[in-house]
């Protein structure tokens, strides 16, 4: 129907003048002679063109093609997909009257005011990068220190230990004396996983041990492409260089491993790592104070409990804190949430030997099944618990069982801890570090609630035998209708034994 309609509305190609009775004449035939037929323009010159009409038509056709090409190029240019680069804001200065009023107090801060910028300006603010796209994950790392009273960065100690060779020598001597310990934080910007470790002194192989920690963290996160980011300190730059060499050879399926350095003397350019240090030291300080109240003594920085507690702090943050996406850092890295039971650090527990292997039934098939130990954290690779046995060794136990509250905190066992994460398999006896001065302990609960109380199953026969209770909705219904009502519970005062 559409094709016929178009043919019906099409203009005629021929102009006919056939003189006959009853036949209408076509349009434009008033100028034609009687009986003459004028054919299409293809058969001859068109009557509507002038002497140079054919040349004008070709020129008009060529201009149309040029316009078409120009329009196509214009569309390509306007529809080109580009990445919008960030631009600084354009500060417009207001009228002089407003400027004069602002100059009286300079409150609030105004970006168009030169004096405000010089006095309170913060420079370029790049934000937290929440909407930025990182095709290659960034893993930042930095050193920090645990002192007697606080957890600090290296620049925070520059008043006591200067930032030069002499200050570094003095700092290393303080580490040997146990006044402070050196630590490292490794944080993945994509998954938000954090790993915090105490670094031993140079005498026990500091460099090789620290490189192993970085390689272990990158391997556990599971990235096949990674950028190691750090600040410009020579010590951390040396660590990054050695770590890249080890990552490329020891981490399976690693495709790309490179490094990135923050702006010199600007800690904010390494903000992701700085935030991680602040979070870790806040929770570590809290857990250490809680443990001190448990045992009733101060825990010095060089005590063997410190490295275990620091690693346990990072595991708790990875397993517990949820982000904006509703997932924990552990879930982002491993694809599932942390599934082990939660025990208090330093808590006395029962641990079980493995079901197979040389450690199975070490005392025979009639020996004890569970043994007393001290919980010191989790092993993230084997999903097991780090447990200190009664003979002072570290073992990995898959199954633990808690003890009654009165038996959970053994101060004498915690005082005897003398193994660390870097010498847990050494045969020689490590140096013993005593706990600090006494502090106020937690008060033990006098009337501790019974764990997991069992509800009493009250049946119709029970009501017949012992009678009903006033004020109980189910008993009231039973007295009225001589039957119990489904879904209606008894009063809670009589539900436990």
Question: What CA–CA distance (Å, rounded) separates 48 from 54?
Answer: 11
C-beta atoms surrounding 287 within 10 Å: 18
Give the single-character DSSP code of 41: G
Q: Which helix (H) or strand (E) holds 17?
A: none
Q: Are 340 and 200 in contact (CB under 8 A)?
A: no
Question: What CA–CA distance (Å, rounded) separates 339 from 325?
Answer: 19
Q: Are 192 and 280 in contact (CB under 8 A)?
A: no
Q: Are 379 and 351 in contact (CB under 8 A)?
A: no
C-beta atoms surrounding 136 within 10 Å: 15
pTM equals: 0.65
Q: Are 274 and 143 in contact (CB under 8 A)?
A: no
Question: What CA–CA distance (Å, rounded) separates 258 from 235?
Answer: 18
Tokens, residue 286: 């809290």
Tokens, residue 414: 């915690």
Q: How many helices (H) and strands (E) does the chain have?
A: 13, 11
Q: Tens place of pLDDT for every residue, the chain, 497 residues? A: 444 444 444 444 444 443 444 444 444 444 444 444 444 444 444 444 444 444 444 444 445 556 655 666 666 666 677 778 878 888 889 999 999 999 888 999 998 999 898 888 877 765 555 555 568 889 999 988 888 766 666 666 666 666 667 767 767 777 676 678 889 999 999 999 999 999 887 655 677 889 999 999 999 998 989 999 988 888 888 899 999 999 998 888 888 899 888 776 665 667 788 889 999 988 998 898 888 888 888 888 888 899 999 999 999 999 999 998 999 999 999 999 998 888 999 999 999 887 766 667 666 667 778 889 999 999 988 888 999 988 888 888 888 999 888 888 888 888 888 888 887 654 455 556 667 777 777 676 666 555 555 667 788 888 888 888 888 888 888 888 888 888 787 876 654 44
- Of 225, 154, 224, 226, the residue nearest 185 (C-alpha): 154
Q: Are 309 and 316 in contact (CB under 8 A)?
A: no
- SS3 for 400? strand
Residue 262 burial (10 A CB sphere; 0-12, 13-18, 19+): buried
Q: Are 258 and 227 in contact (CB under 8 A)?
A: yes
Q: Are 178 and 436 in contact (CB under 8 A)?
A: no
Give the single-character DSSP code of 328: B
Question: What CA–CA distance (Å, rounded) separates 495 from 490?
Answer: 7
Query: Hey, what CATH class is 138-311 in?
Result: alpha beta
- Kind of pairing, strands 256-261 and 225-230? parallel
Q: Are 93 and 99 in contact (CB under 8 A)?
A: yes
Domain with CATH 3.30.420.10 in the chain: 138-311
What Cα–Cα distance (Å) separates residue 374 from each residue in 118, 371, 386, 390? Answer: 57, 10, 8, 8
Query: What digits encode the pLDDT tens for the residues 17-47?
Result: 434 444 444 444 444 444 444 444 444 444 4
Tokens, residue 105: 């107090």
Question: What CA–CA distance (Å, rounded) separates 357 from 353?
Answer: 9
Question: What CA–CA distance (Å, rounded) separates 52 from 125?
Answer: 70
């Amino acid at each position: 129907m559409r094709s016929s309609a178009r043919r019906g509305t099409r203009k005629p190609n021929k102009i006919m003048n056939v003189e006959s009775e009853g036949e209408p004449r076509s349009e434009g035939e008033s100028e034609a002679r009687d009986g003459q037929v004028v054919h299409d323009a293809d058969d001859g010159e068109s009557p509507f063109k002038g002497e140079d009409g054919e040349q004008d038509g070709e020129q008009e056709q060529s201009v149309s093609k040029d316009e078409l090409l120009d329009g196509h190029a214009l569309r390509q240019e306007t529809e080109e997909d580009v990445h919008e680069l960030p631009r600084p804001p354009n500060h417009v200065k207001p009228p002089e009257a407003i400027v004069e009023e602002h100059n009286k107090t300079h409150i609030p801060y105004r970006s168009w005011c030169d004096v405000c910028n010089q006095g309170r300006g913060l420079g370029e603010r790049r934000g937290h990068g929440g909407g930025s796209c990182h095709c290659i994950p960034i893993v930042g790392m930095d050193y920090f220190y645990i002192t007697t009273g606080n957890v600090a960065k290296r620049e925070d100690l520059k008043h006591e230990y200067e930032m030069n060779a002499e200050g570094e020598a003095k700092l290393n001597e303080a580490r040997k004396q146990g006044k402070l310990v050196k630590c490292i934080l490794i944080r993945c910007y994509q998954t938000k996983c954090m790993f915090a470790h105490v670094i031993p002194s140079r005498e026990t192989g500091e460099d090789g041990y620290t490189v192993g920690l970085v390689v272990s963290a990158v391997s556990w996160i599971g990235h096949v492409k990674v950028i190691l980011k750090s600040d410009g300190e020579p010590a951390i730059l040396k660590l990054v260089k050695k770590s890249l060499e080890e990552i490329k050879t020891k981490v399976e399926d690693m495709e790309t491993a490179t490094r990135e350095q923050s702006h010199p003397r600007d800690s904010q350019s390494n903000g992701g790592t700085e935030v991680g240090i602040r979070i870790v030291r806040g929770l570590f300080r809290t857990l250490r104070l809680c443990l001190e109240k448990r045992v009733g003594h101060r825990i010095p920085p060089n005590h063997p409990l410190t490295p275990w507690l620091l690693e346990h702090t990072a595991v708790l943050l990875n397993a517990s804190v949820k982000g904006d996406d509703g997932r924990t850092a552990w879930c982002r890295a491993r694809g599932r949430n942390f599934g082990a039971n939660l025990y208090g650090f330093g808590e006395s527990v029962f641990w079980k030997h493995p079901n197979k292997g040389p450690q199975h039934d070490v005392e025979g098939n009639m020996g004890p099944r569970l043994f007393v130990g001290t919980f010191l954290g989790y092993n993230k690779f084997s999903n097991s618990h780090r447990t200190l046995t009664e003979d002072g060794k570290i073992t990995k136990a898959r199954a633990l069982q808690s003890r009654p509250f009165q038996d959970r905190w053994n101060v004498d066992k915690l005082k005897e801890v003398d193994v660390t994460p870097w010498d847990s398999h050494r045969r020689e006896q490590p140096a013993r570090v005593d706990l600090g001065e006494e502090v106020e302990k937690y008060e033990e609960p006098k009337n501790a609630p019974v764990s997991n109380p069992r509800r009493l199953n009250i049946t119709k026969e029970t009501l017949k035998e012992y009678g009903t209770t006033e004020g109980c909705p189910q008993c009231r219904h039973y007295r009225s209708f001589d039957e119990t009502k489904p879904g209606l519970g008894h009063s809670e005062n009589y539900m436990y034994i």
